[in-house]
Amino acid sequence: MNQPALPRSMNLRRSVLSVPAINPRALEKTHQLDCDAVIFDLEDSVAPEKKAETRENLAAFFRSKPLDGKERIIRINGLGTSWGRADMELVSALEPDAVLLPKVNEPQDIMAIGDLLADADAPDEVRIWAMIETPRGILNAAAIAEAGRTAGSRLDCFVVGLNDLRKETGVLPQPGRQYLVPWLMQVILAVRAYGLCAIDSVFNDFKNIDAFDAECAEARAMGFDGKMLIHPAQIEPANRYFGPDASAIAEAEAIIKAFADPATDGLNVINADGRMIERLHLVQAETLVHKARLIAERLKAKGPTAN
């Protein structure tokens, strides 16, 4: 029996902060922030007349000191625009960890950006993230995710964009997102079927931390790996809600210990303290413990005041 695919990446993606690349101060501040990943935005947060200046800002930032310990993702403009093509030239030059493509509607969008990266001889480590933020994107989520399984594809992560999806569907912003939940779960099914990661949408009212906490708890319960953020104040809650708690770590370590017993060799299912545990749970446990170790190492490196 085939085991469900797990996310390819073992990176932490609890908190994914979007930063306008037009703002040099915001760029520089990312060095001090405790987010797991940074999206350098060349798209929505940048006015048309500022696009060229923004690319220059980002190039200068990448030429300075590296952004240690965080994934670096560049969100480009759509490939159908002149800005998008110029953005891809910048991506090829800077070689970030990933490029985030907005408004992905169909598998061909992923194939097109993959071809551009291949033509530019970008290293395989430069991955593709996809913004799923349109009705067509939701309807085609499984087909888009399946594109990540084709030879040479770099697809690694879906990021849900609810602001655009609400605008195009007329769904009103409401606590609990009850009318959006079926679509969000459709995204989760797609990424889990094909071994990708899923990042939940931004929460716009960054001063309302209680409501943000509730949405993080909801997204974690749905199965999202983390949340896209628009303000540093959202980093600590996101890290807390999407990180493993002590009981989950202890359970994962117990599963790893149980399967380490030589008596389990060749067994896909074992009895551990009265519970039936499958080998797929071992893979999940190893992933969780690995991420817990990454968090502990970061805390140790930053000292006692780190989040």
Is 133 known as a binding-site position? Answer: yes
Spatial CA neighbour of 141 closest among 114, 165, 116: 165
Is 164 known as a binding-site position? Answer: yes
∠ CA(83), CA(84), CA(86), 5° rounding? 65
Is 63 known as a binding-site position? Answer: no
Distance of CA 53 to the CA centre of its chain: 27
* Phi, psi for residue 276 in degrees, rounded to 5: -85, 120
- Binding site listing for Mg(2+): 133, 164
- Binding site listing for substrate: 75, 133
- Binding site listing: 75, 133, 164
